[in-house]
Amino acid sequence: MARRWTNTLTPEDVTPEAAFWNRRQIIAGMAGMGLASLAGPVRAAEGDLEPNSWDDVTSYCNFYEFGTGKSDPKTYAGRMTTSPWSVKIDGLVDKPGDYDFQQILGEMTIEERIYRFRCVEAWSMVVPWNGFELADLLNMAGVQEGAKYVAFETLYRPEEMPGTAYRVLDWPYREGLRLDEAMHPLTLMATGIFGKPLPNQNGAPLRLVVPWKYGFKSIKSIVRITLTDQEPPTSWNMANAREYGFYSNVNPNVDHPRWSQATERRIGSGMFASREPTLMFNGYEEEVASLYAGMDLTKQF
């Protein structure tokens, strides 16, 4: 079942000119891929560019459990066993327990969503994800009143993860979202890319994708999801709070202390391609800006 994220954006909406031109390019791009029938009204942010290649997406990765080099995950993640796989859902839920991944898959509606993926190191990719809405999984477990945050943990299995011998991060890798962010329909639990199951280096068998946040929020190979009333600790924030905040929203106006976040380099676009301006909330401003109304995003970054 393939569905693209659509909305009712018209050319007169936010950043009118860019949106207008982007839409024209996307629809042209999709027609070229034989996907025109699925296009419908296409989001400006996701479709202005064609997806990256399978090689870009699976060879240039961050998965520090397998090493800090971009090619380490592809080289070493093959040794991670991903079957059987279960996900513990606990904390403030009606039905806590260990859920088998295949059982979860059977209950969820798998869709295809093309999202721009923006890394804090100022590069980006466009990835066709397959997956289901995190909200569906949380609703299945039954979120209790009082839950305000969702905490995630990655598998920690040192014998299969050579990178965990180094304490670059405090293992297991941890991430978190506020409950309203987690329940937002754009927030995906990805189970595949390009219509195929996730390769290990991309976080098999399931990982988070939050398209308006920097890539490091997209925690891979998830084994635990906990509903809590406290903001959970997150790996990058624990490692360096000055550089990595809890929210991690893509924001061209708030620089990372060591890099400008105003522009990005599209992976695979060639050495001489010009950098592109980064969009507020990675282009999903219309959908998510209201979640942060009244917050000072220079302080809560």
Least separation in angstroms between CB 219 and ligand MTE: 5
How far, in Å, CA of 254 to CA of 249, rounded?
A: 9
How far, in Å, CA of 120 to CA of 210, rounded?
A: 14
Please give, one letter per residue, the 3-state secondary structure of 196-215: EECCHHHCCCCEEECCCECH
Beta strands in the chain (DSSP E): 86-91, 97-100, 111-118, 123-133, 149-154, 174-178, 188-193, 196-197, 207-209, 222-228, 263-266, 276-277
- Residue sitting closest to ligand MTE (CB): 215
Sequence-distant (6+) residues with CB within 8 A of 269 are none
- Beta strands 263-266; 123-133: pairing state: parallel
Least separation in angstroms between CB 109 and ligand MTE: 22
- Beta-bridged to residue 119, according to DSSP, are none
- With respect to ligand MTE, which residue has the nearer C-beta, 216 or 246? 216
How far, in Å, CA of 35 to CA of 28, rounded?
A: 10
Least separation in angstroms between CB 72 and ligand MTE: 10
Least separation in angstroms between CB 258 and ligand MTE: 14
Least separation in angstroms between CB 250 and ligand MTE: 12
Cis peptide before 172 (omega within 30 of 0): yes
Least separation in angstroms between CB 301 and ligand MTE: 16
- With respect to ligand MTE, which residue has the nearer C-beta, 65 or 181? 65
Q: CA torsion 50→255→59→192, rounded to 10°? A: -60
Collapse the DSSP code of 180 into the 3-class scheme (helix H, G, I; strand E, B; otherwise coil) and give the result: helix
Least separation in angstroms between CB 232 and ligand MTE: 15
**Residue ranges that bind ligand MTE, judged by CB under 6 A:** 61-65, 119, 154, 173, 202, 215-216, 218-221
Collapse the DSSP code of 235 into the 3-class scheme (helix H, G, I; strand E, B; otherwise coil) and give the result: helix
Structure tokens at 109: 């509606």
Structure tokens at 151: 């905490």
Least separation in angstroms between CB 188 and ligand MTE: 13
Residue 129: Cβ within 10 Å count: 25
